[in-house]
Amino acid sequence: MDHMSPSDRTWPAVILLQGADSDLPLAEATHELAHALVDEHADDVLLLKVATGLPQVRFDDAAVLPVLTVAAGSDSSANRAVVAALNRYAPHRAYVFLDVSGRDNPDGFTEQLVAHLDAADLDARLHLRLVRTHRGPLPAAWVSETDHARWRVLHTRVLSHTEGAIRGDDVSGARTEGGCGARTAPHPTWHDSRQDPEQVRVRLDQQGRVAAESLARWARAITRRRVGLALGGSGAWGFAHVALIMAMLDEGIPIDVICSSSSGSLVGGTYAALGRPGLEGLLADGYRLSLAVATAFVSMQPFEARLARQTSGVLLEELDVMFYPVVTNLTAMRAERVISGSLAWGVRASCTAPGLFGSTVHNGSVYVDGAVSLNVPAGLVSWLGADLVVAMNALPQPVGLAATGPRGPLFRLCQLRKSLGVVFQDMGRLQARGHITYNPPQAAYPLLRTMLFHRGRAVCEAAQAEPEFQSTLEQLRDAWNANRQPRTGVQATQWARTA
C-alpha cells in the first residue's frame, strides 16, 4: 500500500500521443519514444499500457523500460484504473507514457481519457503533455480548438521519406521558384503572450541513423531539451556561423530550431537542407558564391535559382530541422519569418540588402534583409520552443575612428560607415541578451568586407581560433551537458513548473 500523502509526492509529466491519421503507428512511436528517453538521457520513465479485458494490473520492471499494464472492460472503468495506477506507480517518476492502443476504440478512448485526466483529482503537480501527430498540414480542428485546461500540446508533423531528404546536388526535385507558395508570419512583439502551437517534425518510416536522430529530436521536444540557433546577418562574416555549427556537430550537441537573418539564413538554410556536407560545400564554393552575390546587384533571381538547384527545391515545411529565415516587410513595416514555401526564396528574401540588391516582391509586399529589423533573432528562437538558445552576432565591431587628420567629406563618410557598424553590432548584442552569445573581436573595415565571400574559409578558421569563440563553445557544452542529465520525478517537476 502507498502511504505517502499527496504533499510528499512528486508527480511525473504524463505523455499521451494522439493521431489525426488512422495509419500512424502511435503504439510503436510511444514505445520508441520512451526507449529513446532511456537510451539518450537515462530518464526515469514508465510505460503505462491500457488494454481492454478483465480487470487486472500487471507491473514488469525487469527490463530497462518498466511497463505497467492496466486492463478494464468499460471506458469509464479504464479511466478510473488509469488514475489509480498513476496514484500508485507514477510518483517520483520523471515521465509516464500512456499507450492506449490496446483499447477496442483507441481514438474514442483517447478523447475520454484526456477529459477524464483534466478533471481527475490528482495532485496539482501532475503535468500533462498531449502529443498530436499528423501527416499533412495542421488539422483545422486542432488549430481552432482551445487547448485542454491542463494539457500542454505539442504538434508533430510526420514526414514521409520523400520529403526534405538530403539530396545533394540533384536538381530533378526542384519544384518552386519566384517565391511560389511562400508564407510569412509576423514576429511576436515582446509583450505578446500568445504562443503558437509548439511544433516538431519527425520521420517514422526510416531506419538507422535517420530514424534514431528523428526520435531523439522528438524526445527532446517533448521533454523541453531542444537546442536552437539564432544566426545574425553579416555578409561574408557569416561564414563564422559555419564554424559554430561544425563545432556543435563535433561535440555531439544537437540542433533543433534555426532562426536567422541575411547571410545567417544562407548558412542556416544550407545546413537544414543538406547537413554538414552542405556546409563543407559552401566553404569550398566561395568564388562561385561571390559571383552569385555580384549578380544580385542586378537581380536576386540567379542567387535564388542557384540555391534552389543545390537544395533540390526543398520546402521549409519538409525540413527535419525547423528553419525560419527572418525578413523585413517594408510594406507592413515589420519583421516577419518565412514559415512555408521554397527554402531558396526564403533565404533570398532574408538576404536582400536594401538599396544594393535586386528587389524581392511577393504577394503585394516588398521584402528586404531581415537584419534591418531583427539581426540576431534569439528571442524568436526561444519563443518557438527552444530551451537552450545559442546566438551568433558575427559582424565585428569596427575599430575606433581617430580624431586626427582632415575633416572633409571622406571623414564624414568614415563617421557614417563606423556608426552603421556600431548600430548593427549593438542591435545584435541587445537582441541576443540573456542567451549564450558569440561576439567577434573588432576588425578593420567590417562593413566593406561583407562582400568578400571568397574569404569564407579564412573567416571560418579565424573564428575557430578566437578565444571568445572557444569560451562560447565551452558555455554551450556545459549548458547542454546540464540539460541532458537524467531526470527524476523531482527534476521533472521543477522543469514543468518553469516551462
Q: Is 350 a catalytic residue?
A: no
The three three-digit cell numbers of residue 228, written as one number: 536552437
- How far, in Å, are 233, 321, 337 from residue 375 at the CA level? 6, 21, 12
The C-alpha angle 329, 179, 309, rounded to 5 degrees, equals 130
From the list 465, 386, 463, 476, the residue with the least C-alpha distance to 437 is: 476
The C-alpha angle 305, 307, 308, rounded to 5 degrees, equals 60
Q: Report which residue type is found at 35.
A: H
Please return the burial class of 384, using the count of CB atoms within 10 Å of its CB with bins 0-12, 13-18 and 19+: buried
**DSSP calls for 106-145:** HHHHHHHHHHHHHH----TT-EEEEEEEESSSPPHHHHHS
Whether residue 203 contacts residue 166, with contact meaning beta carbons closer than 8 Å, is answered with: no
How far is residue 261's CA from residue 222's CA, in Å, rounded to a whole number?
A: 27
- How far, in Å, are 77, 169, 233, 278 from residue 267 at the CA level? 55, 16, 10, 9
Could you say which of 261, 262, 265, 342 is catalytic?
262
Q: What is the H or E stretch that residue 449 is in?
A: none
Q: Report which residue type is found at 244.
A: L
Whether residue 17 contacts residue 131, with contact meaning beta carbons closer than 8 Å, is answered with: yes
Helix-then-strand count for the chain, H and E: 15, 17
Q: Report which residue type is found at 380.
A: L
How far is residue 282's CA from residue 260's CA, in Å, rounded to a whole number?
A: 17
From the list 268, 241, 246, 270, the residue with the least C-alpha distance to 257 is: 268
Could you say which of 369, 373, 382, 387 is catalytic?
369
Identify the bridge partners of residue 153 per DSSP, sorted by sequence position.
130
The three three-digit cell numbers of residue 428, written as one number: 545584435
Q: What is the H or E stretch that residue 19 is in?
A: strand 13-19
Q: Is 369 a catalytic residue?
A: yes
Residues 6+ apart with CB under 8 A from 77: 55
Which residues have a catalytic role annotated?
262, 369
